[in-house]
Amino acid sequence: MASAAFDTDRSSRTFAQSERERWQAEYAHRLAITDFFVVVGAVLTAQFVRFGGLSGDASLFSLGREVSYAVVSAVIIVGWLAVLSIFHTRSTKVIGSGAEEYRRIWTATFRLFGIVAIVALLARVDLARGYLAIAFPLGIAALLINRRAWRRYATRMRANNQYQTSVLVVGSHYAARATALAFAREPHAGYRVVGICTPEGPTEDVSSIEVGDLNIPILGTDRTVLETVQLTGADTVALTATDNFGPGDTRKLVWDLEPLGVDLIVTPGVVDVAGQRLESRPVADMPMLHVEKPQYDRTRSLGKKAFDFFFAAFATLLISPIMIAAAIAVKTNSPGPVFYRSERIGLDGKPFQMIKFRSMFVDADKHVAALQEENDGAGPLFKMRDDPRVTSVGRFLRRYSLDELPQFLNVLRGEMSVVGPRPPLRSEVEQYNDTVRRRLMVKPGVTGLWQVSGRSDLSWHEAIRLDLSYIENWSMIHDLLIIKKTISAVAGSDGAY
């Protein structure tokens, strides 16, 4: 009887796994089709624009032979599609995951055109530069847009409880909660924690772990993982820090999960460390995870300074009509100056005057103490959803973050960055401990992770975590993604008051 029950569980488990494999295979297949049309479209567009048609009349000479550009285009198309496969840009491990998926597409395309350049040099082929100059940027832009569109589709499916990965977390109480919280922070990634196994298992006092608004049940111990997998229908086991699991136990768990078709992922317990800082190195047949040093120095690099200056100059020029209109509205709405200058603490703890459009009445600072009991802000930061000191124009400016546009002037003066931690008040800094004080190792930003992750709705500890994560994992690609997300967050006025 017990054997029959086990066979039934195993059969249902196989069906659940085949469903996950089905949508992953279907998603990857759709990506392959659209990638094909994108690459073909980009290359043929380049040939048409550069040579005025697709008839194949244009040609080049290679090794004493005439070769039609139609043949060249066909070779590049096949090569491009090949490198996209070779670099696993449609792997189930990265599809719909964002930055890593984009990075692989970028790397694959760069490698392809590097190979084309080397072959052209060795074969002494005078390949038309205009042809490549059109095909390369057009193709990579279209590929990234294509992936972005599919990611949005996957996000919508996951919001409807489809395209999900059911996860069973195994580890100590603290580590399991941290892992579950990491999954909960990124619901669009599609990982849904269905249960937890701890060394002690469920007890009378502790039978679940609270993660945000979720109450995840503790269903077993780290010795009853297989039974719990069958109970929950999980298709992935996330193994995190636990003293009871040695290398031999992990290997046996992999063997036991294999016939069930269940994936195993091991989380090293390293929190808020970006993938580019992690490198796996095998030592004596044991994989070692090497963590690179925090990227503090890179955030002060000449490249970031140059980007900040030119981006701020361009943005100021572009939004100057909006700033002029906002200045007129502030001046006519209430008496007082157009700009509000607030002391903030910048790089290495140096104070500076941050410039904003005035959104409050002139004597607003004198009433903070009287309103302290109604503070909606996190930690030492004062915030109110319905602050009576805010003017009618100021409320509109704050809703769409237009009051912060003059901060680009602070960037041009070298006091702020386009992207960075939130600029703190002196009263906040005076309450910092040694950990939080690390925020002052870089310039504060006009926008940052705090801006695109909830803005005023964030808790104090969450805002600090995001700022520290940013400065330790800085990269230029990350800055560009934050700028892109900022535009979406501001347009939706999410978390602004």
Asked which of 129-133, 232-236, 453-457, 470-474 is least confident by mean pLDDT, the reply is 453-457
**Mean pLDDT within 44-55:** 80
For the chain, the structural domain boundaries read 18-159, 165-269, 297-492
Band of residue 8 on the pLDDT scale cut at 50, 70, 90: very low
Q: How far is CA 389 from CA 200, 346, 358, 364, 371, in A?
A: 53, 26, 11, 6, 10
Which residues does 432 contact at the CB level (< 8 Å), separation at least 6? Answer: 439
Greatest alpha-carbon span in the chain:
87
Return the ∠ at Cα 462 (arms to 213 and 474), rounded to 5°.
130
* Residue 402 main-chain phi, psi, to 5 deg: -70, -25
What fold does the segment set 165-269 form as a domain?
Rossmann fold (3.40.50)
pLDDT tens digits, one per residue of 81-139: 999 999 988 887 777 666 778 888 999 999 998 888 888 777 677 777 788 889 999 99
Q: How far apart are CA 52 and CA 48, in angstroms?
A: 5
pLDDT tens digits, one per residue of 268-324: 665 566 556 666 666 666 666 666 676 667 777 888 899 999 999 999 999 999 999
Q: Residue 173 above 90 pLDDT?
A: no
Band of residue 477 on the pLDDT scale cut at 50, 70, 90: confident
pLDDT at 400: 84
Q: How far apart are CA 492 and CA 343, in angstroms?
A: 28
Local structure of 194: helix, strand or coil: strand
